[in-house]
Structure 1
Amino acid sequence: MNDAPGLQPLYQQVYTLLVRRIAEGAWRPAEALPSEQMLASELGVSQGTVRKALNAMVMEKLVERRQGKGTFVAEHTQERALFQFFRLRRTDGTRVTPESGVPTIKRRLAKPQERHKLELDDKAKVVEIRRTRLIDAVPTVAETVVLPLYLFPDIDEIGDLPNTLYSLYQSRYGMSVVEADEQLRVDTANREDARRLEVEVGTPLLHIDRIAIAIDGKKVEWRISRLTTNNVVYAVSLS
């Protein structure tokens, strides 16, 4: 590796290389990476450079360190995915674990906006998943998930979808979601929302538009969540 002017610092080059290897499947979720010493020897850099790259990956939640065992590729367990990507809390601040109603799933041609959001070609097909999330047994989130069919070719044939889809994306399809871009706005319930959430038409809702991005940079999911806020808040910690 070369630390010449104009190139990335060495640790960033190591970071980029290791992330690419994970994306290509060199190490599976929950699998240990080689030791810092082995990586340093292979790449021709110092252990300090490798450690700095791994520290950056830990901060990005791409890998995790286990005391006395080494560094492992991060795994999207149900609990981890909820902690990292589910931002709803009860009004007293306590965490909630949503339950999912029976979903409806279908495959179809992508609509123009979906092709734009997910960077798909004109003839691309998608899988649409609609489900209602319940919090404390109350219908709270009307969720519509759109996935590129080529990335998830048989997801509509799975019997019971897990409560947290990101763990399924990783374990079955090798798609590790590491980033989510969200846009929020206030809206009011239409007839479909009213039916799914058991509220009156015109009830104020929070509308969340999310694009999920995998470790290789692919946009793998477009998710629209429309939710009531009588018993929950959307919580974000800033630092």
Structure 2
Amino acid sequence: MERLGTGGSGGGSGREGGEGVGFRPLYRQVHDTLLRRLAEGVWQPGQILPSEGELARELGVSQGTVRKALDALTADSLLVRRQGRGTFVAEHDDKQSVFRFFKLRSEAGGEAAPESRVLARAEAPASVDERDRLGLVRQARVVRIERLRALDGRVCLIEAIALPASLFPGIAALDLPNTLYSLYANRFGLTIAVARERLRAVALSAREAGHLGAAPGSPALEIDRVAFDLDERPVEWRLSTCLTEHVHYQSILR
């Protein structure tokens, strides 16, 4: 294996921690190498990784550089550190997926998991917007899922989800779980690594209002999310329309 930081995309002399125009820190190169292995399935969910020392020797970098890369992957919830046992590939169970990606919180406090009810699902040719948001070709097909979600027993949002049909064969026929991201990982081998959201204020349509038990035109929060897998490929477009009378959107900035 070519040593990291020596020529190629690393640039410069490959000094650890160096900065410069176009220079990528060595720990980021290690991070990207490990991320690529996760994407390729070299290490499966729940599997323990080689030790920091073993990875450092293999990649030709210091143990501290490996540790920094592992810390970054752990912060992204792709790895899990277990004291005295080692570093493991995250399994992305329902609880982890819910509280990492579901940002609505009840005004009553606590972190109650949302409940879901599927309204419709079908496969169809991708619309112009779906092709644009998911980077699909003109002939592509998508699976559309519409469902309601509730917190503390109160329905608070309706969401429309579009998935590339080629990546999720047969998903429309499955009994869909409350948390879809665990299904994506366990059934289709697609781990959601990051999601990008855009928020704006909207007025409820008559149909949305009927499902949410509100008056047409009521103010609501729209969350437009595109989720990406470990290969940085868009694999889900989700449009959620939320009533915020009893819930709020919580984002923790660090």
Q: Classify the TM-score, shorter chain.
A: over 0.9
Which stretch has the larger CA shift, 96-105 or 12-21? 96-105
SS at match of 1:94: coil
Unaligned runs of 5+ in 1: none
Residue 18, structure 1, aligned to residue 34, structure 2: yes
How many equivalent residue pairs?
238
Q: TM-score, normalised by structure 2?
A: 0.89
| Matching residue of 2:15 | none
Give the Cα–Cα distance (whole angstroms) in 2 for the partners of residues 103 and 30 of structure 1. 33
1:66 aligns with 2:68: no
Are the counterparts in 1 of residues 4 and 61 from structure 2 also a CA contact under 8 Å? Answer: no
Q: Of residues 15, 36, 46 in structure 2, which corresponds to 1:30?
A: 46
Aligned 1:142-161 pairs, distance under 5 A: 142-158=158-174, 160-161=175-176
- For the 8 Å contact 2:106–2:152, the answer to whether it is kept is no
Between stretches 217-226 and 24-33, larger displacement belongs to: 24-33
CA contact (8 A) 1:88 1:96 kept: no
Counterpart for residue 211 of structure 1: 226
Amino acid at match of 1:75: E
Looking at structure 2, the residues matched to 101 and 171 of structure 1 have their Cα atoms a distance apart, in angstroms, of: 21
Q: For 2:63 and 2:244, locate their aligned partners in 1 and report how far apart those are by CA, in whole Å.
A: 49
* Structure-2 residue corresponding to 1:3: 5
**2:78 alignment partner AA:** L
- Alpha-carbon distance, 1:116 to partner: 0.4
Kindly report the root-mean-square deviation, in angstroms, between the aligned alpha carbons of the 2 structures: 1.4
Q: Report 1:195-206 matches (<5 A).
A: 195-206=210-221
Give 1:78's aligned residue.
94
User: What is the SS of the residue equivalent to 1:104?
Assistant: strand
- Give the CA deviation at 1:46: 2.5
Q: Which residue of 2 aligns with 1:40?
A: 56
- Maintained 8 Å contact 2:4/2:60: no
Aligned to 1:123: 139
Paired residue secondary structure (1:40): helix
Q: Deviations over 1:119-178 (max 9, x none)?
A: 0000000000000112222221101110001111111121x2111111111111111112
Query: Is 1:101–2:103 an aligned residue pair?
Result: no
Contact 2:220 2:242 (C-alpha < 8 Å) held by counterparts:
yes
Q: Helix, strand or coil for the counterpart of 1:166? A: helix
Q: Give the C-alpha shift of residue 62 in structure 1.
A: 1.7
Find the aligned partners of 2:132 and 2:47 in 1 and give their Cα distance. Answer: 35
User: Is the 2:4–2:59 contact (alpha carbons within 8 Å) kept by the matching residues of 1?
Assistant: no
Q: Partners in 2 of 1:168 and 1:175 — Cα distance?
A: 9
Share of identical aligned residues, percent? Answer: 46
